[in-house]
Structure 1
Amino acid sequence: MVINYCILGDQIVMTPAFMGSEPNYIAEGENTGTRTFENEEKLGLAFYHSLESEQRKTATLFNRKDYNYNQAASFDDNAIVPYSGLNVIALDETQMNLLQELISEYIGNIKEGHAEVRMDEILEHMDHTYFAWIGGSDENDAFYYRIQSPVVLIEFDHQTPVFLPGNKPSKKHVHTLVRTPNGNDYGKDLLRQHLEKDHQH
């Protein structure tokens, strides 16, 4: 887990935020059956299943997932990731609600009021938001999805095990990532505004 937190007055930027787990479940003891990233996985799959056939075809970059696919992980600050997949402007109301619920699962990791402000910013850019998918969509399939707009980049990736047996992406190893594209990771844009306003010489 790596979380970067920038606070300036009443403004907060909580990106980049990387969270991962292997294994992502507790196999024994009093918390047996507890899984990490269960909501992110289930909500992502539910949204993908809600897509119509042509929408799903547009969203799907590859039907198989043979590799790790995070595009904006560590050492990839300000990575230029081309928009790909489905422009979500084509969604109906039910699909859009599912997508917003999925996004909220990531954005809701900050205090409620700040999460609402962040969500409003994301909703303002829904016309330029894309959803991309890699992999199968059955219960046991490993997959990757990305939600991308000018103001947010969210990635969920089933990865190849490092400690557990296996040489293909597995649902037992998960990476998630949230970034703020276009220069505001680490609160850089907040700091720039602060310096321009309060530290002029």
Structure 2
Amino acid sequence: MSPILVPAALESKLMKPIVLLTTLLLGTTVAHAQDQQAEDGQAQHSAPVAEIREAAVVFLDGLSPELRKQASFSMDDKERRAWSNLPSTSFKREGVSFKEMSAEQKKLAHRLLQSTLSSQGYLKTTGIMHLDELLKAMAAERRPNRTPMFGHDMYWIGMFGDPAKDKSWGWQLDGHHLALNITVVGDEVSVRPAFMGSDPAELPSGTYSGWYVQRSEDEKGRMLFESLDEKQRAKAVIADVAPRDVVTGPTRGDQLKTPTGLPASELTAKQQRLLKSLISEYAHNYEHNIAHIQMDRIMAAGLEKIHFAWAGTETGKPYYYRIHGPTVIIEFDNHYPPGRNAGPVNHIHTVFREPGNDYGEDLLKKHLMESPHHQHER
């Protein structure tokens, strides 16, 4: 059968309604996709306060009256800011330790961690605690009669305020090489300051040989530094010798006032992506929504205001990096093990802070200003 020939003018008239309908349908689909994307974006930025609150309440309810009293503090208790990276024999902790918990209570404690941390953050946290158990075994081999100073049992949880009824409350996990400080204010969550460390950073031998809990923080930092050209390095390097420890460690949160090093505005687009990935490594230790809130706060203050600094330029020697901007301080230090000044560099300390909002300070001030029942206190 011969094809039907349609005059060009008629074909044009017939096609117009089809094109219009297709455009309308596509426009509706695109608009729906954009609306859905916006809704998803809003959902990503909603902290899981109800889930964290429930996990905290269930944890407290699972403790005996004695342990519950031991674990509970007021929001203004000095213990909320008292944490350390030192072993328990060098720094006395308060709260309830894993050693004092039953098996069921430990499960509830881990659910509290999981309510606030991402899968990577939870694995790093428990990895650091397990590293301490390995340190305990190694120390026992060297000095069998010495009082244990390491171990999974040597981590404490403290609850500040009453999660069942208070608008503002928080919890803390504190032990050797690990301090998590969580503050909930209304529907917002502050997760800084946080300290994570590991010794050995990479296990050199034995059953767990090659295990490296904080490899990403290490490799991403070195990758960014190695991408710098000579001119950029001249600004980024703040010292040829790395400091023995992070600057803004326990009780030293206000030690860094002005960013130093190389401004992110002088990085290439690829290097800026490396910087964002490095910052994201720390932010995404927390639950997905919380992590995006952290990244939004950091980026909203201006990427160009963030500086990257490096110390330690000799191969095989300790090295250090710092990321410092209006709403972020990240420090990383890889040094010799305690008591040594030579040998392998295999002992990591990191800190993740938020200037002006550590321990939810900014959120708490905002809450006091906006809450009617606090107006008489002003």
Query: Do Structure 1 and Structure 2 share a fold, with TM-score over 0.5?
Result: yes
Q: Mark the CA change 1:17 to 1:53 in structure 2 (over 3 Å): closer, same or farther.
A: same
**Pairwise CA distance, 1:90:** 1.1
Structure 1 residue corresponding to 2:278, chosen from 102, 112, 118 = 102
1:186 and 1:160 map into 2 onto residues whose CA distance is: 30
Alignment size in residue pairs: 196
Instruction: Look up the match of 2:244.
Output: 68
Instruction: Look up the match of 2:332.
Output: 156
Deviates more, 1:78-87 or 1:53-62: 78-87
Once the two structures are superposed, the pairs formed by residues 34-73 of structure 1 within 5 Å of their partners are 34-65=211-242, 67-73=243-249
Q: Mark the CA change 1:73 to 1:136 in structure 2 (over 3 Å): closer, same or farther.
A: same
Instruction: Look up the match of 1:129.
Output: 306
2:221 and 2:184 map into 1 onto residues whose CA distance is: 30
Measured against aligned partners, the alpha-carbon deviations of 1:61-110 in whole angstroms (never above 9, x if no partner) come to 12233x41421111113234332110111111100001101010001111
1:41 and 1:5 map into 2 onto residues whose CA distance is: 25
Contact preservation (8 Å) 1:45, 1:137:
no
1:55 and 1:185 map into 2 onto residues whose CA distance is: 31
Deviates more, 1:147-156 or 1:81-90: 81-90
Structure having the higher Rg? 2
Contact preservation (8 Å) 2:193, 2:353:
yes
Letter paired with 1:179: R
Matching of residue 180 in structure 1 with residue 354 in structure 2: yes
1:71 and 1:169 map into 2 onto residues whose CA distance is: 23
1:68 and 1:75 map into 2 onto residues whose CA distance is: 16
Instruction: Look up the match of 1:194.
Output: 367
Q: Mark the CA change 1:19 to 1:51 in structure 2 (over 3 Å): closer, same or farther.
A: same
Q: Mark the CA change 1:79 to 1:62 in structure 2 (over 3 Å): closer, same or farther.
A: closer
1:107 and 1:57 map into 2 onto residues whose CA distance is: 28
**Pairwise CA distance, 1:27:** 3.9
**Pairwise CA distance, 1:190:** 0.7
Instruction: Look up the match of 2:201.
Output: 24
Root mean square deviation, CA, Å: 1.9
Matching of residue 6 in structure 1 with residue 183 in structure 2: yes
1:6 and 1:157 map into 2 onto residues whose CA distance is: 26
Contact preservation (8 Å) 1:142, 1:169:
no
Deviates more, 1:37-46 or 1:5-14: 5-14
1:168 and 1:26 map into 2 onto residues whose CA distance is: 17
1:137 and 1:81 map into 2 onto residues whose CA distance is: 27
1:200 and 1:52 map into 2 onto residues whose CA distance is: 55
**Pairwise CA distance, 1:128:** 0.9
Measured against aligned partners, the alpha-carbon deviations of 1:4-31 in whole angstroms (never above 9, x if no partner) come to 1011233111111011121122344543
1:159 and 1:10 map into 2 onto residues whose CA distance is: 39
Contact preservation (8 Å) 1:68, 1:169:
no
1:170 and 1:188 map into 2 onto residues whose CA distance is: 39
Measured against aligned partners, the alpha-carbon deviations of 1:104-157 in whole angstroms (never above 9, x if no partner) come to 00011111112112112211221211111001274x342100000010000001
Deviates more, 1:113-122 or 1:45-54: 113-122
Letter paired with 1:95: Q
Contact preservation (8 Å) 1:145, 1:155:
yes
Q: Mark the CA change 1:168 to 1:190 in structure 2 (over 3 Å): closer, same or farther.
A: farther
2:237 and 2:225 map into 1 onto residues whose CA distance is: 9
Q: Mark the CA change 1:195 to 1:189 in structure 2 (over 3 Å): closer, same or farther.
A: same
Deviates more, 1:82-91 or 1:144-153: 82-91
Instruction: Look up the match of 2:135.
Output: none
Letter paired with 1:151: T
Normalized per residue, the structure richer in helix is 2
Q: Which runs of 5+ in 2 are unaligned?
A: 1-177
1:21 and 1:54 map into 2 onto residues whose CA distance is: 33
Instruction: Look up the match of 2:47.
Output: none
Q: Mark the CA change 1:2 to 1:170 in structure 2 (over 3 Å): closer, same or farther.
A: farther
Instruction: Look up the match of 1:83.
Output: 259
Letter paired with 1:148: H
